[in-house]
Every structure is written in C-alpha cells, then in structure tokens.
Amino acid sequence: MIRKILLSAASVLLTVSCHAEGDQPYEGPGQTPSYEVVFAGLAMDCIHKEYSNKIAHYMTSDADLKPPRELYPVFYGCFDWHSSVHGHWLLVRMLNTSPDKVDREAIVSKLNQSFTADNVAGELRSYGREGMKSFERPYGIAWLLQLTAELRQASFPKAKTWLDHLLPLESLAVANMSDWLPKLTHPIRTGEHSQTAFAFGLMLDWSRVAGDTAFESLLTTRIKALYGDDRDCPLNYEPSGQDFLSPCLAEADLMRRVMNERQYADWLTEFFPDLTSQTQSAWLDPATVTDKTDGKLAHLDGLNTSRAWMLEGIISGLPNNDARVDALQNIADKHEAAGLDAVLGDMHYMGSHWLGSFAVYLVTERGLNQ
C-alpha cells in the first residue's frame, strides 16, 4: 500500500528543518529516525516554543495584555493555541500507538511540564473570562476534545492524572458548545478554522469515547438538521487558495458518522452525483504549495492530508461492495502521497508547527478508530 512505501522511505530521507526559527528537530532513540520519531519531533520542538506566536485573545483592559505563556500556560506554543493543542494530542497519540518507537521518557517529561493543575487553572482563567465563549470555536475546541478523548483511551500511568487536570477545561468547552449549537442556524462551510463539518466530526467522536450521550444527541440532531438535505456539493469550486479542509469532503466524512451504510450510500449519491465507479483521479487533484514560508498558502499541504483521511472516512461508511470504493481509494492515495511528502520533506515553521498532527491523524487512522 502507498502508505507503507512512503513511511518506509521516511527512514531514509528524514531531515526536517524549521528554517524560519533555526531550530533542529528533536531526534529520538536509534540512528535512523522512523516516521514516528519525526512526527513526534515536530511537536516536541514547538509545544513549549512561545515565539513566534499568533495569539487570539479578547481584551477588555490593559491588564489582559500579557505574553502567551501567562495567558495560556498549557497551550502557548506551536505558533497558536489550536496548533499547540493538537501538538499535545500528537504526542499522546504516539504514546498510545507507537510507544516503543519514540522516546517515551522525553515525551512524558514534556507533557508533565504542560499538564499541571496550575497551568490548567491559568487556561481556565483566560477561557472563562467574559467575551471568551467563542474562543477557538469550533476548531481549537474540537482538538481539545480529541486530546481528552485520546487520554481517556490511554493505558500508560500518567494519562489519568493529565486527564483529571484537564477535565475542568473540557467541561467548560462542552458547556460553551452546548450553548452555541442550538443557536447555529446555518453550517459554516469554509476551508479553514471556522468550518463546522470537520470540527463536528471530532466532537462527535469525543462524545462517544467520553460517553456523553446528552452532547452526542444534541450534536447529532444539529448535524442532521444542518447537513442532512444537502445535494450536489460543488467540489469543482475547491480548493480556495488557503484551505486546509475541504468543505465538501469534510461534510461527507461527517455524515457517515450519523447514518447507517445504506442511508449513507444513498445520501452520498445525491451529494456527489458525478462520483461513480468510472470516476478518474482527476475528479479531485492534489493541491500545490508555491511558497512554504507563507502560512496561509502553506495550508494547502494540510489540505492534501486531510482530504486523504476524509476520503478514507467516506469509504469506511460505504458497503464493501459499493462500486465507488476503488475510485475513492485511488484519489485518496494520490492525496496521501502529496500530503505525507510535504510533512516528511523540507518544511518551514509555518507548516511544521501543525502538519505533523495532520499526518499522525491520517497514518494512525484516528478518524476510523475511536
């Protein structure tokens, strides 16, 4: 399979540099780094790297103007809050899926530094202030819930302690989302952070791991109301120039979570009427980044990766004998090759601070295995 070929090649070519900041990547045990070491290294390099930083913070007075490490003592690194959150998720995911292929002690030490009760209390002080209900909504909040879901499923000793510390932050996030969802009258169909389809998928997965049936019911109801009647998604209008999520594919990947196979197969026929067994890979071509130093243009590297996992998600929702599966898999393989090449090759910090998480979400099949 293409994934095995690409990831085997990673052990030969892995030299990741963050040109903008002059950092050297973290190197794990062994002389030849595996892709797990490289992905973990990207997060290890940045979760406690305060600057450069693009902060999203609502201020009501001069007293609210503080450095990132004081405003968000857990998630101040990796350029922005949401990237720090999923950088921490990446490291927990590596401990869950590949503990013998990464430097466990180094990762645990880093996460111990982050997940203290005092640090989480600082996060709560910022997130709990007046005017902050929409903070990192929905993208960053979805990754926060994915992080706590990962900790719930972990078996290593420190996971429960870290989760216990994060639970107050999780509770506030769920309360804010529960207040917002009934008020949301239309889906948000962008290809960036405010998109609802991708975030709702992560949140729904969290609700099932956490056993929060009330939130699952609320979110499922809203998903069906917002997306259930959609038809003829204009995939030919994608991508926009700075997308890292596909509005159409993210919606299709979301809907398989709330339908059975037969319902989903019928819905997908109406949603993508030109998708058949004869569909060629040109139905959706991978995007190309022209300037990796431009943080917005670099989004397209992540788009290729997220398209790959969304296509695999769509496949997983269909019956095995569905005629469209082979065509979808061929398109997914092309996007996976392009996406992983971007992560395993030469990167600027504008990509390296977040693309590792997208790669890990894809290669560990997190969206398929909750």
Report whether pLDDT(24) > 50. Answer: no
| pLDDT confidence of residue 223 | 98
Exposure string of 187-223, with b = 16+ CB inside 10 Å and e = fewer, is bbbebebebbbbbbbbbbbbbebbebeebbebbeebb
Binned at pLDDT 50, 70 and 90, residue 346 comes out as confident
Number of structural domains found in the chain = 1
Average pLDDT estimate for 217-233: 98
Report whether pLDDT(18) > 50. Answer: no
Average pLDDT estimate for 18-44: 65
DSSP annotation of 289 reads: -
Position 370 in a domain: no
Position 290 in a domain: yes
State both tokens at 160.
């429960």
Task: Give the Å distances, CA to CA, from 66 to 69, 77, 81.
Answer: 8, 15, 15
CB of 203 closer than 8 Å to CB of 177: yes
Phi, psi for 77 (deg, rounded to 5):
-95, -170
CB of 38 closer than 8 Å to CB of 25: yes
| pLDDT confidence of residue 4 | 57
Q: Which domain holds residue 162?
A: 2-363
Binned at pLDDT 50, 70 and 90, residue 188 comes out as very high
Report whether pLDDT(11) > 80. Answer: no
Q: Is 291 helix (H, G, I), strand (E, B) or coil?
A: coil
State what percent of residues in the chain have pLDDT above 90. Answer: 86
The tens digit of pLDDT for each residue in 90-123 reads 999 999 999 999 999 999 999 999 999 999 999 9
- Lowest mean pLDDT across 3-7, 38-42, 201-205, 261-265: 3-7
Position 299 in a domain: yes
Position 94 in a domain: yes
Position 369 in a domain: no
The tens digit of pLDDT for each residue in 64-85 reads 999 999 999 999 999 999 999 9
| pLDDT confidence of residue 172 | 98
The tens digit of pLDDT for each residue in 286-341 reads 999 999 999 999 999 999 999 999 999 999 999 999 999 999 999 999 999 999 99
Q: Peptide bond before 286: cis, by omega within 30 degrees of 0?
A: no
Q: Is 254 helix (H, G, I), strand (E, B) or coil?
A: helix
Report whether pLDDT(15) > 70. Answer: no
Average pLDDT estimate for 10-24: 44
Binned at pLDDT 50, 70 and 90, residue 345 comes out as confident
- In the chain, count H helices and then E strands: 16, 0
State what percent of residues in the chain have pLDDT above 70. Answer: 91
The Cα–Cα gap between 270 and 217 comes to 25
Q: In this structure, what CATH number is given to the domain that contains residue 204?
A: 1.50.10
Position 294 in a domain: yes
| pLDDT confidence of residue 299 | 97
Which residue type sits at 259?
M
The tens digit of pLDDT for each residue in 44-70 reads 999 999 999 999 888 999 999 999 999
| Length of the chain measured in residues | 370
The tens digit of pLDDT for each residue in 117-136 reads 999 999 999 999 999 999 99
Position 368 in a domain: no
Position 209 in a domain: yes
